[in-house]
């Protein structure tokens, strides 16, 4: 079901459960503020999800309420993950769905990192 990005954080969401270690994930990267793991249903040869450890519903929530340290860590880690995965030369795409029109399904901010093939148009036409 599409997420209403204006709702309060629900700590039973699937990524909160991954962060608490209640569900497994294929970890790519972790630091004080950030966790990254492979998407369970990859849409490209490389499909990594980068999430903040803090309780933020969406990009909107995070960009409004996260500390400068959390935001810096998230942006730096996202670039580093792509770089260390060797994605810079061939290219990659980052995307954060936010709210109903975007199709956001999990109500914890996540940045998709797609790569490994030509990714086509930015949006379906």
Chosen residue from 10, 22, 30, 40 binding ligand DGP by CB under 6 A: 40
Exactly one of 33, 38, 47, 110 is catalytic; name it. 110
Please give the C-alpha separations between residue 18 and each of 25, 59, 84, in angstroms, as whole numbers: 7, 19, 23
- Give the integer Cα–Cα distance in Å for 99 and 102: 6
Decide: is 104 part of the binding site for ligand DGP (CB under 6 A).
Answer: yes
The residue to which tokens 């630091």 are assigned: 31
Using CB under 6 A as the binding criterion, the count of chain residues that bind ligand DGP stands at 12
- Tell me if residue 110 is catalytic: yes
Decide: is 14 part of the binding site for ligand DGP (CB under 6 A).
Answer: yes
Chosen residue from 5, 16, 19, 25 binding ligand DGP by CB under 6 A: 25
Q: 112 forms bridges with which residues in the sheet?
A: 49, 95
* Residue 78 in tokens: 């996202």
| Residue 21 beta carbon to ligand DGP: minimum distance, rounded to whole angstroms | 13
Residue 93 has a CB neighbour count (10 Å cut-off) of 14
Decide: is 84 part of the binding site for ligand DGP (CB under 6 A).
Answer: no
Q: 80 forms bridges with which residues in the sheet?
A: none
Residues that bind ligand DGP (CB under 6 A): 14, 23, 25, 37, 39-41, 97, 103-106
Active-site residue numbers? 110
């Amino acid at each position: 079901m599409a997420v209403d990005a204006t709702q309060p954080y629900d700590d039973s969401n699937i990524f909160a459960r991954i962060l608490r270690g209640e569900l497994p994930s294929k970890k790519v990267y972790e630091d004080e503020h950030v966790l990254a793991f492979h998407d369970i249903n990859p849409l490209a040869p490389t499909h990594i999800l980068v999430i903040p450890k803090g309780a933020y519903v969406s990009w909107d929530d995070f960009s409004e309420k996260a500390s400068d340290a959390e935001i810096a860590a998230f942006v730096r880690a996202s670039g580093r993950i792509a770089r260390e995965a060797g994605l810079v030369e061939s290219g990659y795409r980052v995307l954060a769905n936010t709210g109903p029109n975007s199709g956001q399904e999990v109500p914890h901010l996540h940045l998709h990192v797609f790569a490994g093939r030509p990714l086509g148009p930015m949006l379906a036409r």
